[in-house]
Structures are given as C-alpha cells and as structure tokens.
C-alpha cells in the first residue's frame, strides 16, 4: 500500500482509469510581472522554465490536440485534464476566461479543468463562472501560496499575504471547487519550524490537494543573484526527503498529493540538479517513509484527522 495519497490514485478513484493532465499556456499574464503589483515577479520566477509552450504560443486547440495525440500513442491514455498552468490563469475578465476555457468542450476526452493562479486573481464573479464547469468536469483551482508566513512572502516578493489566500480559499470552497495548494520548501528564512507551521496551518484547511516545490535557482531570476552572492542555501536531496516526509506525516490522509518534487528545464536550471531525477527523489521519499513505518497523516493534529489514524 502506498504511504501517501497520490493524485493518480485520487483520479483513478473517480474515473476508474489513468487520467493525464495536459499542461497549457493560454497566454495569460501575471500582475506581479506586468507592473500592476510589480515588474520583477517572485524572486525565483523565470516563467519560461516551466511550461512546454511558453515562448511560442500556439492556439490552445493545437496544444491540446498535440498532447492528446502524444499521450494516447505513448501511454494509451483516454482521459485528460486541461491544466491551465503558465502564469496566472484567472488574471482576466470573465468573458476572457470563458473564451479560453471553453476550448475544452471541443474535446470529449477532456474530463477535468485545472486552473493554476494567484490567490489575489480571483473574485466572486470569476469563481461563480468557473463553478459552472462543475456540472460537466472535475474542477480544480491550484493556488500558488508558497508559504503561510507573511514575512517570507514579502521577502520573496509574492505581493500577496496569507490572508489573501485564505479569502480566496474560502470563496473557492463556497463554490464547491477543489482547492490545490502549491508550497515551496526551502525558501530563504524558512526554518524547519516555519515549514512545520505551514504544514499545521494547511492541515486545518478543507483543501483537496497539495503540491510540493523545491526551491531551485533559475537563470535570469532574482534568486540567481542571491545564490551567486551566497545569500541563499539550497537543500540537499537528503534534507528534502526528510522534510517532505515530515510534512506528509502532518497532512490529512484525504489530501491528494499533486506532486512531490518539481523539475525544471536544463536550459534554465542553475541548481540543484538532483531535483530533475524525479524517479530517484520519489523513491527516496518512499524509502524514508518505509524506514519510519509512517504514513501521510500519522502526526496530523487537525480535527479532520482525529479517529482516522492507523
Ligand atoms: S506569480 Fe507566478 S508568474 Fe507571477 S511572478 Fe510569481 S512565479 Fe512568476
């Protein structure tokens, strides 16, 4: 039995078969880059490194058909989730969101809509509109939170607070949309205590998914400067594995783990390179949990975990 609740298991539980997420670039911008909040972005950001289509935008329809063709041929996948990933995918008016999202209706293979965004880029109208897809699709919004610590959020130039996230989260749950939270482990000034406090706070929320991201340095980011000036320390594989396991032990077992470690393009990644060996990182995490004989949620203190422990 797996010691943590994978997103694949969650999807199989709903659809009875493998479901593949297709990463899309819908051409949205970000208020932290376009000057609305700031022009410099988060200190670790170089958005070119993330998405497959960034830099040479193709029409969404083309992005989707190419990916479906690829995964159906390679892995025999029949069902897909359209994952609007690049930049802030609710940073537009409702009519513009509709123009972009509606493309999924052209593909009967698409069973889900997943939207990645910032917590300060949603409001009641947008969430009400997005919740309309609940009728035909599995709908998720993934919020980039990174940490619940406001001092660190300011330090990494997120230009939003934990309270902004809480507001967006409550509104999103009000419209019965699944919430995924994106957290970064190893941020500057994030001590072990701070990260465990993140785990404790997150474990008390009614979220459906959690995505881990390891702090890494991308060429062209502000973090590159800090790293070269030796002002930032990066985690070793061993440290990361221990930390993810400590985190998992404190998160309710019902929260699906969307990802255990991030990867980045070799063209942009400066350090640490070990993170791109995803298979090894996941294996090490599994080994560590096995060694501890522990499972996701074993040390979870939230009310939702009571009476659910092994
Ligand atoms: S919110 Fe995302 S896209 Fe915007 S600056 Fe931060 S990391 Fe980059």
Please tell me whether residue 168 adopts helix, strand or coil conformation: helix
| Partners of 182 in beta bridges | 144, 211
Confidence band, pLDDT 50/70/90 cuts, at residue 166 = very high
* pLDDT tens readout for residues 101-150: 999 999 999 999 999 999 999 999 999 999 999 999 999 999 999 999 99
* pLDDT tens readout for residues 260-274: 999 999 999 999 999
Ligand 1, CB cutoff 6 Å, lining residues? 30, 32-33, 41-42, 45, 47, 87, 118, 144
Q: Is the pLDDT of residue 54 over 70?
A: no
Quote the percentage of the chain above a pLDDT of 70. 95
* pLDDT tens readout for residues 178-196: 999 999 999 999 999 999 9
Average pLDDT estimate for 157-177: 98
Q: Is the separation of the CB atoms in 135 and 13 below 8 Å?
A: no
Q: Is the pLDDT of residue 50 over 70?
A: no
What is the Å distance from ligand 1's center to 86 Cα? 9
Secondary structure letter of residue 26 according to DSSP: -
User: How far does CA 9 lie from the centroid of its chain?
Assistant: 17
Q: Which atom of ligand 1 is nearest to the CA of 88?
A: 3
Q: Whose CA is nearest to atom 2 of ligand 1?
A: 87
Closest of 85, 103, 78, 106 to residue 19, by C-alpha: 78
User: How far does CA 238 lie from the centroid of its chain?
Assistant: 22
What pLDDT, on the 0 to 100 scale, is given for residue 302? 84
Question: Of 77 and 48, which is predicted with more confidence?
Answer: 77
CA distance linking residue 82 with residue 116, whole number of Å: 11
Q: Token pair of 178, please?
A: 């699944």
What pLDDT, on the 0 to 100 scale, is given for residue 307? 55
One-character DSSP codes across 92-111: S-HHHHHHHHGGGGG-TTEE
What is the Å distance from ligand 1's center to 42 Cα? 6
Q: Is the pLDDT of residue 51 over 50?
A: no
Angle at CA 29, nearest 5°, toward 137 and 85?
Answer: 35
Tell me how long the chain is.
Answer: 310
Lowest mean pLDDT among 54-58, 111-115, 129-133, 247-251: 54-58
Longest alpha-carbon distance in the chain: 52
Mention every residue, 6+ apart, whose C-beta is less than 8 A from residue 186.
Answer: 214, 215, 234, 235, 240, 243
Residue-range domains of the chain with CATH: 7-299 (3.20.20.70)
Q: Is the pLDDT of residue 57 over 90?
A: no
Chain mean pLDDT for the chain: 94
Confidence band, pLDDT 50/70/90 cuts, at residue 303 = confident
Q: Token pair of 138, please?
A: 């599995």
SS3 labels along 186-226:
CCCCCCHHHHHHHHHHHHCCCCCEEEEEECCEECCCHHHHH
Q: Which atom of ligand 1 is nearest to the CA of 87?
A: 3
Average pLDDT estimate for 245-254: 97
What is the Å distance from ligand 1's center to 28 Cα? 11
């Amino acid at each position: 039995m797996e010691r943590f609740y994978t997103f694949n298991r969650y999807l199989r539980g709903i659809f009875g078969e493998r479901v593949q997420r297709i990463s899309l670039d819908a051409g949205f911008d970000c208020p932290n880059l376009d000057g609305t909040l700031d022009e410099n972005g988060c200190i670790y950001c170089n958005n070119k490194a993330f998405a497959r289509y960034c830099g040479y935008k193709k029409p969404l329809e083309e992005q989707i058909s190419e990916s479906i063709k690829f995964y159906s041929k390679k892995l025999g996948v029949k069902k897909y989730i359209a994952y609007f990933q690049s930049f802030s995918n609710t940073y537009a008016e409702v009519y513009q969101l509709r123009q972009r999202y509606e493309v999924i209706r052209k593909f009967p293979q698409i069973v889900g809509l997943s939207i990645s965004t910032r917590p300060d880029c949603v409001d009641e109208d947008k969430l009400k509109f997005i919740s309309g897809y609940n009728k035909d699709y599995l709908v998720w919004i993934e919020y980039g939170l990174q940490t619940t610590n406001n001092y660190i959020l300011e330090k990494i130039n997120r230009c939003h607070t934990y309270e902004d996230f809480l507001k967006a989260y409550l509104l999103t749950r009000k419209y019965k949309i699944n919430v995924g939270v994106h957290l970064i482990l190893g941020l500057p000034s994030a001590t072990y205590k701070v990260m465990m406090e993140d785990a404790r706070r997150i474990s008390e929320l009614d979220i459906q998914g959690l995505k881990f991201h390891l702090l890494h340095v991308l060429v062209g980011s502000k973090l590159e400067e800090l790293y070269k000036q030796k002002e930032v320390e990066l985690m070793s594989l061993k440290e990361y594995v221990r930390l993810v396991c400590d985190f998992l032990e404190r998160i309710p077992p019902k929260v699906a783990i969307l990802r255990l470690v991030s990867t980045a393009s070799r063209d942009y990644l400066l350090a640490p390179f070990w993170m791109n060996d995803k298979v090894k990182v996941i294996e090490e995490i599994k080994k560590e949990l096995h060694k501890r004989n522990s499972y996701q949620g074993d040390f979870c203190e939230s009310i939702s975990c009571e009476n659910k422990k092994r």
